[in-house]
Amino acid sequence: MKKLPLSQMPALYAAMAQGGALYLPVDNAAGDAQFTRWQEGMELSRALNTVRSAKDFFFPQTENLVSFRMQGKTIEIIDPRTEGEDFVLFGVRACDARSFTILDKVFLADPVDSYYKSRREHGTVVTLACTRPEETCFCQSFGIDPADPEGDAACWLTEDALYITARTAKGEALLARLDGLLEDADPAPVEAQKAQTAAILAKLPLAQFTTRSFGGDVLMKAFDSPKWASLSEACLGCGTCTFVCPTCQCYDIRDFDTGHGIQRYRCWDSCMYSDFTKMAHGNPRTSQLERFRQRFMHKLVYFPANNDGEYGCVGCGRCLAKCPISMNIVKVAKALEGDVHE
């Protein structure tokens, strides 16, 4: 383990940025934390989490896929991809770091999504341990330790220093670049911080929340629950939950006539929308109840059934904080517990 005095943080950022772009959570004008490309003078946000997750860097909200330029009967296919720069994501929390594992299972499975793969290869993820989890946090319910996050390298901030350790070959390469700034460290302060965070986690309102009820073959019991009607009754179908979620991966692909050719692009979509997966004969889910059920069944049942028990949620708490009707995956899971056990 290595450490760096907090007074040297600007030098650390500058060194990280020498190998490519550096992004870190920075407070915007509204006071919200968002990942921003680092420039001299920028300071790390002290907010627990960014409003939008770090998913954007590997699976952006909008993305050009291919262009077609037509001249007579000749069609030229143009690959618009330009991303070739290595970059570092600094300050990623444990929940978002686990979300990359979930997205990998989707985009790196055959057939591999080459757009996502390229970004993953160029990106180095440096995580930051949580010290003050909020009441909306429940990542520990999914086996995530916010005090000991995953990532290519992991960091801990104490009152006077930053502690950092490498987790992967990418992390080792990053620390080698920073070697002149870092010094060997006794991990005792980090272990003490982990213990303090664990004590806070044990007192959180959702500390006892568990998804064990959804293990095994509960598909039809959960699907046929009569509670979906009351749970979905107030849903606005706004899609906010899907757009702040670090693990949602649905997208739509469309073609746009530029006047000089065709631009094919993809953008995030939401299973909560009435036109989601709309086909020639219409939408296979014609009611908000069906769309609502699809979202939570995917997170709690479908995804773990097809991915060795790994759930499609990381407990970041964004849906708890942002849903305008205060509906979220915790309320749904608790409501269905009795039905799936009967």
What is the Cα–Cα distance from 165 to 171, expressed in whole angstroms?
A: 8
The predicted structure's pLDDT at residue 290: 92
Q: What is the pLDDT of residues 70-98, one digit of tens each?
A: 887 888 898 888 767 899 999 999 999 99
The predicted structure's pLDDT at residue 85: 86
Query: Is residue 159 located within the same domain as residue 302?
Result: no
Q: Which has more confidence, 266 or 275?
A: 266
- The whole domain housing 38 covers 2-203
| Cα dist from 234 to 106, 230, 323, 339, whole Å | 31, 8, 11, 21
Q: What is the pLDDT of residues 5-48, one digit of tens each?
A: 999 999 999 999 987 899 999 999 888 999 999 999 999 999 99
The predicted structure's pLDDT at residue 342: 58
Query: Is residue 178 located within the same domain as residue 283?
Result: no
The predicted structure's pLDDT at residue 338: 73
Q: Which of 104-118, 157-171, 218-232 has the lowest mean pLDDT?
A: 218-232
Read off the pLDDT band of 341 (50, 70, 90).
low
Q: Which of 147-161, 282-296, 313-327 has the lowest mean pLDDT?
A: 282-296
Query: Is residue 119 located within the same domain as residue 150?
Result: yes
Query: Is residue 319 located within the same domain as residue 190?
Result: no
Alpha-helix residue ranges (DSSP H) falling in the chain: 9-17, 94-107, 114-122, 169-177, 188-203, 219-223, 228-232, 240-244, 288-297, 303-306, 318-322, 329-341
Residue 102 has pLDDT above 70, yes or no: yes
Query: Is residue 222 located within the same domain as residue 169?
Result: no
Query: Is residue 248 located within the same domain as residue 131?
Result: no
Query: Is residue 56 located within the same domain as residue 198?
Result: yes
Among residues 182, 203, 224, the one where a domain terminates is: 203
Domains held by the chain: number: 2
